[in-house]
Structure 1
């Protein structure tokens, strides 16, 4: 009985042990489940004093070349010159009358009509007396010590035609009653003393130049008809039509004919200047520091660029006219034309709007 109980107890123990081992095996073979990670402690915001100090970098652009902004364009008027740059300048020279013998003279209605319609220089003076030194002064800037109407008193000096040619412009003098181009002797109606161009060596001694530029008045009509009027023109009437040997009514009739022909030339009427003047008067009045003078003469400026019905009371002389021509064409000033005391003709000019 006792052994049977022992066997039963032993058997029960063995079953219990087997069950226990079985349970342990199940546990050992079960899959492992990772434990959830422990939460990390929150990150602390670092103190600013613990951050590394980094220098700030500002990007910059360095151009390869200095760039200057263009200014805003502004419209400005081109300043006008003090004297218009005339396309043509024509001088007609008469003989031996004071202004008081011409202006208001009923024998000269044509001269007075142009003087009243355009500009009259009321205080324009010749340089000296007699004729020849005045002609020389007008195109050479000096009388060169000449005080008579000598024939062979030639001058080796530059003159206005030299400067005109150098500027690319053209010129001619038209001498009425001159028998042939560049003629040097007197005739009944032609006087070399009224032709200053042949007195200058650079013109007279150059035969071809002299014959091409110092011509008879008859060539002017052909040059007008063919559109070949030179830029600078100097016209000398013969001894009668200039007033030297004939009355002022004859001068006026001759002037009427040639002014009509000249003013019908389009380029002259639109962009030119005609000067009517006299070589000398009959007194010794003068101006501008050149004493004694050769009288006060009636000088008229005819142009679309002069004031209409205007009288200019500024004192002028032949050197002033030379200075004005040179200024209009940007030429060097010859002789006394360069003197500060020689007035430039400026008051009469008026540009059309």
Structure 2
């Protein structure tokens, strides 16, 4: 949970922009765009984008792309949702510090607006995943931190499908990169990383 472990490396945002697409990270509870530090229930450790030097130290880029979650409703209403969206709930709604029921209630209020948006209806996909389980168990070569659920919701997805393939967060990264013809970063480039293709028709 280091808050000063800055990273000087190519990241998914760099790839998305180089590929001519747009992105934005919506952080619930973030006091202002590109905020660095903690302001509970917003915690910087759950905002991966702020750790990349080429995002955090570029004020214009950072402020345009790493924003408070409240901006999502405006972007949905205006039809200005970017191609790639990252959403982080606050420490209560992400179920870290509050109950599962609290997180479920938050999702029940937020997900319908996303599913009713043009961005989603136009062959979009919503991935809902967690960052860690209740043990340190891992399924695959580079996985640790427990086993988690991941929901894949899309007009292109197989209805009611449950995968038996062992996958990691790098599988999600690889799936995004492969679908947009981007090179694979980090663990996504490992031959041990499965692509999440089986969820789609």
Give the alignment's TM-score, normalised by structure 2: 0.98
Cα deviation for residue 330 of structure 1 reads 0.6
Alpha-carbon distance in structure 1 between the residues aligned to 2:64 and 2:120: 22
The reply on whether 1:233 has 2:85 as its aligned counterpart is yes
Q: Which runs of 5+ in 2 are unaligned?
A: none
Alpha-carbon distance in structure 1 between the residues aligned to 2:69 and 2:105: 16
Cα deviation for residue 266 of structure 1 reads 2.1
Alpha-carbon distance in structure 2 between the residues aligned to 1:303 and 1:208: 32
Report how many residues are paired: 201
Q: Which residue does the alignment assign to 1:322?
A: 173
Name which of 99, 103, 125 aligns with 1:273. 125
Q: Which residue does the alignment assign to 2:196?
A: 345
Alpha-carbon distance in structure 1 between the residues aligned to 2:95 and 2:40: 14
Q: Which residue does the alignment assign to 2:187?
A: 336
Alpha-carbon distance in structure 2 between the residues aligned to 1:264 and 1:338: 34
- How large is the Cα RMSD of the aligned pairs? 0.9
Cα deviation for residue 183 of structure 1 reads 0.7
Alpha-carbon distance in structure 2 between the residues aligned to 1:200 and 1:239: 22
Give the 3-state SS of the residue equivalent to 2:71 in structure 1.
Answer: helix
Alpha-carbon distance in structure 2 between the residues aligned to 1:331 and 1:286: 27
1:227-266 paired onto structure 2 within 5 Å: 227-266=79-118
Q: Which runs of 5+ in 1 are unaligned?
A: 1-148
Name which of 297, 305, 311 aligns with 2:162. 311
Alpha-carbon distance in structure 1 between the residues aligned to 2:155 and 2:93: 27
Name which of 296, 320, 323 aligns with 2:147. 296
Alpha-carbon distance in structure 1 between the residues aligned to 2:142 and 2:169: 11
Alpha-carbon distance in structure 1 between the residues aligned to 2:76 and 2:12: 22
CA offsets, 1:76-122, max 9 Å, x none?
xxxxxxxxxxxxxxxxxxxxxxxxxxxxxxxxxxxxxxxxxxxxxxx
Q: Which residue does the alignment assign to 2:6?
A: 154
Alpha-carbon distance in structure 1 between the residues aligned to 2:119 and 2:5: 37
1:1-353 paired onto structure 2 within 5 Å: 149-290=1-142, 293-350=144-201
Alpha-carbon distance in structure 2 between the residues aligned to 1:204 and 1:324: 26
Give the 3-state SS of the residue equivalent to 1:325 in structure 2.
Answer: helix
Alpha-carbon distance in structure 2 between the residues aligned to 1:191 and 1:197: 13
Alpha-carbon distance in structure 2 between the residues aligned to 1:241 and 1:337: 28
Cα deviation for residue 270 of structure 1 reads 3.2
CA offsets, 1:195-251, max 9 Å, x none?
000001111111100010000001000000000001000000111111111111111
Give the 3-state SS of the residue equivalent to 2:152 in structure 1.
Answer: strand
Alpha-carbon distance in structure 1 between the residues aligned to 2:69 and 2:196: 28
